[in-house]
Structures are given as C-alpha cells and as structure tokens.
Structure 1
Amino acid sequence: MRTGVRSSPYWPVVSHPQLGRVLPGLMVSALGDGMSLVAVTWLALQLAPDAHRGTWVAVAVAAYSLPSAAGGVLFGRFLRGRRGAQLAGWNALLRAGGLGAIAVTHALGGLSLGVYVTLLAVSSLLATWGSAGHYTLIAELLPPVHHLPANAVMTTIGNVATVAGPPLAGLLIGWTSPATVIAVDAASFAVLALTYRLAVPAVVPAGVPVGVPVGAATAPSPATPGFAAIRADRTLLGLLGLSFAFFFLFGPFYVAMPVHVAGDLHASATVLGVFYTAFGAGAMLGGLAAGYLSRWSLWPTTTGIVVAFGVAMLPLGLGVPAPLAAASFALAGAIWAPYMATSMALFQRGTPAADLPAVLAANGSVLVLAVPLGTMLGGPLVGTLGARRTLLACAAATVALGVLAAVVRFCHTSVVGSGRGDGGGAARR
C-alpha cells in the first residue's frame, strides 16, 4: 500500500516540505472561491433591475477578473522577479481586503451596483501575478518531471472545492445572503495569505547562484520581457492564442447558465449550485487523471481537450432533460480539468527559469481578458439568442476551434520536421 502511494506521480508534490505546508491554505481558499461562483452572480442578480439582470451579471463577473490584466502590465516593474510565494500571498491579501469591504458595505446598507463592481475590480488587480506565483513556486521547488503532477494538484484542489462550494453557497444564501458567502471567501483568502507568509521561507529558484538576490537574478532583461519572449516563440504564441479563444468561448456560460436557471427554469440558486457541482465533480476526476498524462505528447493532448470539451457541452444547448444535461456537464468538467495543467507544463518546459514569472504574468494578463470578454459578449448573446442557444453556439464554436488548432499544429510540426521551419521555440511537446 505504502509502495503504491509513493509510486504515485503526486507523491513528490504532496510530500514536499514547503508545498505540503501550502496545500491546506490553498484548499481553504479554493473552498471560499467555489462558494463565490454562486455568490458573486447571485448578489448581482439581487442588486440589478429586472430589465438588465443579464448585463449586470456579466459586468460583475468581468469585474472580478478583468482588471487583473491591467495589473499584470502596470505592476510589472515592481513585481517582476519576485518569488512565487510573495506574488501569490500579496494577491490573496488584496482579495481578502476587497471582498471583505463588499461584505462590510452590504451590512451597513451602502452597497450599490457601482460600489459592488468597483470593489470586485479592486480585489482582482493582482490576480494575474497571483496565478503566476502559484506556477512559479512549482518551478522553483520541483524539477520539470514533476511540474505536470504539481499543476494537476493545483487544478484538482480548485475542482474539489467546486464540488463542495456551490451547494454550500446555495444553503448559506438561503439562510442569510450572498454577501455572507462573499465574507466567507474573504476570510479564506486571508488564511491563504497567512499561509504563504508563514509556511514558505525565502526560496532561491533553481539555477540561481547562492548569494545572488532573487529579484535581481530572476528579473528578465529588457530584451526578453514576458510579452516579447512569447512573441519570439511561435509555439508559445500559438498556445496563448488557443487558450485565449478556448476561455473566451466559455465566457458566455457565466451569463447564460444563471439566466437559464433563474429565468427559463424558474429555479433557485441551489439548482445553479447543483450544475456547478456536477461540473466540479467531473473536473475533480479529470484533475486527478491529469497527473498521469506525463507520458502523453502534450500538444495533441491539449488540442484534443478543446475538441472533446466542445462536444461534451453540446447537450446543454440542445435542451436535453436536466439529468442528462447535468451528466454532460460533469463530463465536460472532467475533460476541461487537465487543460490548465498541460498548457502550464508547456510554458514551464519551454521558458527559461529566469523569465518564467514575467512570461506567466504576460500569459495571464492576456488570458484573464478571455473569460470576462466572453462573459461581456454573453449579455447581448443571451438577449438575442436566448440562454440555451447561446450555450449551443459556444459549444459548436469550441469544437471548430479545437479542430483548427490540431490542423495548424500538425502542419507546423510537419514543416519543422522537414527542416523548413525555425523550430518553433523550446516547447515542442
């Protein structure tokens, strides 16, 4: 039994002395964020006028993530070269403050739509750097062979929380209010910030000479900042384009699904939570499986995920019975889960260690726009097509995207293999 556990690809991750102390804080914070999946949209529905509910749901969801794109650029000169634990901890602290202010303002009776959206935006300013911090910490502490399992652990923690968080949020909203759930999320981020502060000592990234300050050693030179490094590598640029389009096409779901549940089905937040839970349950299984994909070629796996996810989402837009819709959504979650692990592994393997924080922050600054922009598009799409047809259109477009990406990647690999290409950079897997 012990031999089997130790032979798991996850054992080097969960048994690592630093990462092992961080994981409990990540679990607590992820549970709070899973609850906010329901609370952020439901509070927007309560605050918004009936005629513009879909629009304000879209604005609230976008405000909870979109400003981090600006933060990824504006704060680069101050945060570039920082350790992964610092970046992740500072983001958690800002999230705690912004969400806590929403709960306090609501309790005092002063929470208007404008104040709500503003505080959500403030809380998200460092989210890009926080995400870069998580994956930079993995690259700092673990050798490349363990990157994919470690990425999968990060994803699986969030997926497990998605299973437990939404139904718990539905119950708490029924007993109290969505602002209470947001207060709980704020407290969970405070726990995470404290975890990073106490559990992870100063870490010198691999390859940095002893005695050299981390910031000075890891800060990329002016000739190779994050965006320039991605532009110079056609493989990483293609990966960024694929991820942006994939997440963009998922964005309208965040508008279509709540409006469909509340308007078409005349159901409660608990029913919305059930759908999120189905997705999270599938994602939890898919995330656990992702760590065993190390022997697979990462590029075909990544494009295959896009195609299969779109196929799994089609039944939701076809109006199938609710049990079948929930099952399809669970399958979609299982397919979706490994995408972040495989795409981040491509970045980690194809980027020099000194440039990794800036490259991941640049990647995040672009990707963080994808879902909010898709969500903003979801408002007029739902208004024009209706919630169900919006889901169908996005699913079909996702299938087409995956097929196109696979064809382009195959053609590029064929050219490189024949010696007529430039090699496409370091991340060829």
Structure 2
Amino acid sequence: MSLARSLIDVRPLRTSPVFRRLLIGRTVSVLGGFMTMVTVMYQVWDMTGSTAWTGGVGLAQALPLVVFGLFAGARADRADRRRVFLGATVGQAACSLLLAVQGFTGHVPVAAVLLLVAVQSAFGALGAPAAGVFVPRLLPKEQVAAGLALQQVSGQSMMLLGPALAGLLLGWFGIGVCYLLDALSFGLAFYGARGLPALPPQGEPSRAGVHGVLDGLRFLAGHRVVRGALVTDLAATVLSFPVSLFPLVNAERFGGDPRTLGLFLSALAVGGIAATALSGPLTRLARPGPVMLCASAAWGGALVLFGLARSPWLGLALLALAGAADATAVVCRSTIVQTRTPDALLGRVTAAEQIVGQAGPSLGNVRGGLLAGWTSGTAALLSGGLLCVLAVAAVAATTPELRERTRAGQEVSSGRGGRRRAPEDAS
C-alpha cells in the first residue's frame, strides 16, 4: 500500500469546491468555539470562584441541545437546510458579539453570561441537524466517509489549538477580544455555507412539532443498523468515558503531577488526529459497521490497559490508542447515520446523534466519578472498559447487519417518516 493511500482521503477537497469552502469556514468556527469555551470558564471562575458556577457552564451548553435537539431536527427536515443553518449561524454570532460587549464592559451578572451561552447553544442545536445533511448531499456516496474524516481531523486539531490559543489571548488582550474573535469566526462559517445550493428535504417534509419528532424516533427504533450505531456509541461513552477519573488516577498512580494530568487529554486528541490522518484505507472501504465495532471494542480495551499501567509514558501511549480508536468509531458511526438514513429524516437522526454524542460522555463522567468514589479510580477504569467491550460484543451479536458490507443504494427515501428498506433492516 502506497503512503498516499494510507493518508487521509482528500478527494472531497479536490472534487467539490463547495465542500472545501464549507470545511474551511467550519474549521475556523470550531476554533472560535473552543476559544469561547475556555473564555467562559475563565470568566465565570474569575467572577465567582465557585466550581458550582463553572459546572453550570457545561449545563448551559448541553441542556439546550438535549431539550431542543429533536425539535430542531424536525424543523430542519421541513425547510431548506441551507437557510436554517445560515440563520442559526447569525444567531450564534450575535450571541458572541453580546458576550464580547459584556466582556469589554465587565458589568454583567454571571447568570446573564450563562444565559447568553445557553441561547448560543440553542442556535447551535438548530444549526447542527441542518449541517448534518451537507456532506451526503454535496459528495458522492463513496466519498462521504472521507468528507466526515476531514471534518473530524480538522475539529480535533482545533480542539488542541483552541484552548492553548485562548489562554494566550486571555493573557494578552482579555476576555472581550476572545469573544469578538469567535463572532468573526462565525462570519467565515456563514461565508462557507452561503455558497451552498438550496437543500430542501428529498421526499415528504417532516410533520410539524411532536408528530415530526415521533416519526424520527420511530425510524430510529425500527432501523437496526442506525440504532445499533448509536447504541454502540452510548456503550462506549456511558460505560467507560474516563475524563472525570483522570485527576484521581493521576494522584493514585503518578504522584498528582499536574503536567501528567494535562497530557492525558492531549494524548486522547493526538491519537484521534493521528488515526484520522491515516484513515485513507478505512474510509475507502465500504465496511463502516465492522470497523466501528472493532474500534469501539479497542477503545474499551485500551482503557482497561490504561487502568493497569504503572508507567506514565505507557499510560499516555494507551490513551493515544484509545483516542485513535474513538476517532475511528466516530467517523464510522457518522458514515452509517448519513448513508443509511433517508434525506427526509436526516435532520432528526443527526439531532439524535448529536444528543447521544453530548449526553453519553457527560453520563459517563458521572458514572465514573460515582464509582470511583465508592471504590477507586483503577476499579472504575477497569470495570468501565470491560463493560464497554461486553456491550459492543452484545451489539455485534444481536445486530448482524452491522457486521456486513454496506451496499450502495440500500436506503431509499419514501414518504413521511418512512423508507423502503432491505429485509435485514427489519426489526
């Protein structure tokens, strides 16, 4: 295998100028988002000195997505997704501008800051399901996985760069400038999406309100492959997400060195970037289901070994392996969702995927923290990793469709909340 074929597949960048422009705007916007995340945490802590208030930042970011996500997905499945995304982007930019204004003036209650964060998150919840249809509508089916991998590697790179850049800018210029730069980043995201063609739903639009949401949930309940992909992700995150355990494990094993603790998260991100950068062979294969199952099991297995590691360097290597497995599983899960869901339902299913991606790690952190409080960090890591491997094995055993090769054209949109489906998709 040549080196070029081992590297990430960049065909979407060559063949689709619209996707290329969209990816550039999205990458800059993600960078601004990570900068704002750090800036909000810094500002709230500086204003209150309270971990309860800083914990409220995460709640303000996650709650709108969970509460409004499925309704936003139904809205995206009734309208031109391009217009929905552009409107949501304008709303997010306006919130960043208001955050910048209060950052420069410095006379706003902390509750008002969290309210602006929550409103911005609500606009993000509206835009995300609309953006979920861009890749499968812009790229041919054989390039969808490559397009998602490019989004993944750009997002993870910004996750490494954004917090560090925010720290420097906070020290040099203060919080107002960081918020203002985030607002400008949304301008690039708007520019990137403005050149998209109109993207109305293909097939019968979603019904309004709760009826449309229920149609989407019925699809998820009845489609074994998509359902299995989301259940696999929940198994990997709820049962074994390790971040809340890092401080305790660092204290138990590695002397509580803060430098080691900081490297734990970096190792996960570095592993994810490396795996996505070398994802060419995987994204060219039409086997996202088997790859996702193997990668999710590898994530759990790497965390088990990390729980047993006594050397900091070995621990970091195992976390990098876990990050690589997680990034591979995410690309494969998104490929399954976006290639196996009819376009008329894709906004709602993307919203469900976003909720799973947001809620799973949060619940996993709670699980790990509670179990570690009763036992130890090592016990929480070992049990979580083992449960993850067992849960993935159970999904593989009960969903044989996930182990099979994807066939082009297998899913065809049909009607309200429905589809014509291959026999193996029957529940």
Do the structures match in fold with TM over 0.5? yes
Report if the CA contact (8 A) 1:252-1:375 is conserved: yes
1:265 to 256, 262, 269: 256
1:219 aligns to 2:209 (yes or no): no
> Shift of residue 380 of structure 1?
4.8
Which letter maps to 2:158? Answer: A
Residues in 1 aligned to 2:326 and 2:371: alpha-carbon distance in whole angstroms: 23
After superposition, residues 20-419 of structure 1 pair within 5 angstroms as: 20-36=20-36, 38-43=38-43, 45-47=45-47, 49=49, 53=51, 56-76=53-73, 78-110=75-107, 112-175=109-172, 181-197=178-194, 199-200=195-196, 202-204=197-199, 214=200, 217=203, 219-220=205-206, 225-249=215-239, 253=243, 255-257=244-246, 265=256, 267=258, 274-293=263-282, 294-295=284-285, 297-314=287-304, 316-318=306-308, 320-375=310-365, 380=370, 390-391=380-381, 393-410=383-400
What is the number of residues matched between the two proteins? Answer: 399
TM-score by length of 2: 0.77
Which letter maps to 2:205? Answer: A
> Shift of residue 273 of structure 1?
5.6
Report if the CA contact (8 A) 1:236-1:347 is conserved: yes
Residues in 2 aligned to 1:272 and 1:96: alpha-carbon distance in whole angstroms: 33
Which letter maps to 1:340? Answer: V
Unpaired runs of 5+ residues, structure 1, are 205-213, 415-421
The alpha-carbon distance between structure 1 residues 14 and 182, as it changes in their structure 2 partners (threshold 3 A), is farther
Instruction: Kindly report the root-mean-square deviation, in angstroms, between the aligned alpha carbons of the 2 structures.
Output: 3.9
Residues in 2 aligned to 1:240 and 1:42: alpha-carbon distance in whole angstroms: 33
TM-superposition CA deviations, 1:153-206 (whole Å, max 9, x none): 111111221232233334344556667545543432332123323x32x335xx
> Shift of residue 342 of structure 1?
0.9
Unpaired runs of 5+ residues, structure 2, are 405-421
Report if the CA contact (8 A) 2:241-2:364 is conserved: yes
SS of residue in 1 equivalent to 2:396: helix
TM-score by length of 1: 0.77
TM-superposition CA deviations, 1:17-67 (whole Å, max 9, x none): 2112222212212222344564455555545556xx3x5554422321331
Which letter maps to 2:258? Answer: A
Residues in 2 aligned to 1:272 and 1:170: alpha-carbon distance in whole angstroms: 17
Residues in 2 aligned to 1:374 and 1:128: alpha-carbon distance in whole angstroms: 21
The alpha-carbon distance between structure 1 residues 144 and 411, as it changes in their structure 2 partners (threshold 3 A), is closer
TM-superposition CA deviations, 1:338-365 (whole Å, max 9, x none): 2222112212222223332233234434
The alpha-carbon distance between structure 1 residues 252 and 126, as it changes in their structure 2 partners (threshold 3 A), is farther
Report if the CA contact (8 A) 2:72-2:348 is conserved: no
1:16 aligns to 2:16 (yes or no): yes
SS of residue in 2 equivalent to 1:323: helix
**2:425 aligned residue:** 425
The alpha-carbon distance between structure 1 residues 78 and 300, as it changes in their structure 2 partners (threshold 3 A), is closer
